[in-house]
A and B are shown apart, each in its own frame.
Chain A
Amino acid sequence: MRKNRTKLIVLAIIAIISILLFCLYNIQGGFSYAFPKRVERVLAMIITGTAIAYATVTFQTVTHNRLLTPSMMGVDSMYEVVQTVIFFFAGSASIFVVSRYLNFGLSIAAMVLFALILYRFLFRADKHPIFLLLLAGMIIGTLLGSLVTFLQVIIDPVEYESLQSRLFASFMNVKTELLLIAIVILVASFIYGYRLLRDLDVMSLGRENAINLGVNYDKIVLKVLILSSVLIATSTALVGPITFLGLIVSNLAYQFFATYKHSVLIVGASLISIIALVGGQFLVLHVFQLSTTISVIINFIGGLYFIYLILKESRKAG
């Protein structure tokens, strides 16, 4: 237990160092101009990082599955669908695009709704094997992806330009006015979710043991599924989809902390997530000179890590 506390402190220090580096390194032009800009970006990364970490760890506990994340089930693709449909039918000059709040609200609502309908079909009382869920997620993702591509092919090229910038996760053009709402949603979710943490510890013993120990299992599963889709939707609507981040940080946290305690796992995963985003963005800015984006790097590393996890899992089963 003490070891884990040390690990958390070390991670926190690394996170703070990367945040300071990001905010202060090689600051040019007017400090009073550049510094607040950078702080905004860092804030967006901290919000996104914690939201994704929290959502993924809790989601994986209630689904008893460490390879699935809400993003991979197609919640992210739903964001692309919403944006594309809006741009296609209403156009980039419409109120749905111009009003950031309306766009934000619509995206979140659509993603949460989609997630809940999906879970309703996939996680009903009977247990489904992992591969079936993964397959279902993949197929739904592909379906939504094709839909998006179809609309993008026939859309006006000018509209397409402005749509594109929305669909890649980017911390360079954070929608500042949305930061505050995102913080409010995040804090509210954490306060609401705090009481569930200990129940989640028990739920990692499996459904039957959890019910035996007096946990109101099905109710908590529902709460967590709602909470995690709200958080993923918020982070996606804020900066765009970063599909594999959740998978990387949750699994690194399981490996690194080897505990059942969600308080430790979630804080740990959040710190790893912040380090990955802030540190990664720092590299993008100062090493790659903006020749690539953070979401490309994370999805590349995340994809490799995912393949590694699947191979490890299948070796264990075989």
Chain B
Amino acid sequence: MIEIKGLSKSFGKKPVVENVSLTIQPKAITSFIGPNGAGKSTLLSMVSRLLDSDTGEVFLDQSDVKKMKSNEFAKRVAILRQSNHLNVRLTVRELVAFGRYPYSKGRLTPEDEEHIDRAIEYMTLGDMEQKFLDELSGGQKQRAFISMVIAQDTEYILLDEPLNNLDMKHSVQIMKILRKLVDELGKTVVIVLHDINFASVYSDRIVALKDGRLVKDGPTNDIINSEALREVYDMHIPVQEQDGCRICVYFNSHS
């Protein structure tokens, strides 16, 4: 279980995240939503120790994340940020193999190879595992990076806008895989999303941020309704039911 207690962060004088406390439920998908500049990515970066918080703590199963060894943390929590430009030329398989680094420090064992095979298969990258990353499309590249995180085999997977620049087909594909990771392998997924409909259809819980503060935190159905969404986005968002899913039809709304 990840507990976030009173996290704050300012860049210069501008507060980006202010006193946010929440608990991430295990074995579920939690989506962070909110307008631009709400502090979603910053919050995720602090949870995953990419960024030091100004105040507040993050606990992973009762132990303070800052006091954990970075290698041990890397076996339990994985984070993938949105920008993935590389300076080096790697094949898909080489990239995925890096996911085993916390375990094998670069000397791959047969067990590591198995994990790598499975991760590649999970993201259906089998036929392009020997291709170089710079030969792939944006979506394929994104899948390769997610595959690396899967090979890392952590209980927690944190993803910062993994659907950025992806078309509908690949977005759906990735969300389905995340769902499978939770339902079949019992992982906990935390994801920053811009498209509230993906959040609505695929996540178990939603955390909504606005101006650096936590405004909503609860099961998906408590958040995906016009009333709660108005508080988050300051606009009228009609919600319709379609095949048991709640879809926000905000494209033509008047505030």
* A interface with B by C-beta (< 8 Å): 64, 66, 198, 201-202, 204-209, 211-216, 258-260
Q: Output the least CB separation between B245 and chain A (Å).
A: 32
Q: Apart from A212-B80, A212-B149, A214-B75, what 4 extra A-B contacts exist at CB < 8 Å?
A: A212-B48, A215-B101, A258-B89, A260-B88
Query: Given the interface contacts A206-B86, A258-B89, A260-B90, does A213 sit within 8 Å of B106 by beta carbon?
Result: no
User: A211, A213, A260: which contacts B99 (Cβ < 8 A)?
Assistant: A213
* B interface with A by C-beta (< 8 Å): 48-50, 70-75, 78-81, 84-90, 94-95, 98-99, 101-102, 105-106, 149, 152
User: B70, B95, B149, B152: which contacts A215 (Cβ < 8 A)?
Assistant: B70
Residues of B within 8 A of A198 (CB): 101, 105-106
User: B50, B74, B79, B98: which contacts A205 (Cβ < 8 A)?
Assistant: B98
Select from chain B the residue with minimum beta-carbon distance to A207: B50
Instruction: State the total of A-B contacts with C-beta under 8 angstroms.
Output: 62
Select from chain A the residue with minimum beta-carbon distance to B82: A208
- Complex: A208 Cα to B152 Cα, angstroms: 15
- Which A-B residue pairs are the 9 nearest by beta carbons? A214-B74, A214-B71, A198-B106, A214-B102, A260-B88, A213-B101, A204-B88, A208-B81, A212-B79
User: A213, A216, A258: which contacts B152 (Cβ < 8 A)?
Assistant: A213
- Complex: A207 Cα to B84 Cα, angstroms: 11
- Complex: A194 Cα to B88 Cα, angstroms: 21
Residues of A within 8 A of B101 (CB): 198, 202, 213-215
User: B74, B89, B94: which contacts A212 (Cβ < 8 A)?
Assistant: B74
- Complex: A125 Cα to B154 Cα, angstroms: 27
Q: Output the least CB separation between B48 and chain A (Å).
A: 7
List 22 interface pairs A-B (beta carbons < 8 Å), by A numbering: A66-B87, A198-B106, A205-B86, A206-B84, A206-B86, A209-B98, A211-B50, A212-B80, A213-B74, A213-B98, A213-B101, A214-B70, A214-B71, A214-B72, A214-B73, A214-B74, A215-B70, A216-B70, A258-B89, A260-B88, A260-B89, A260-B94
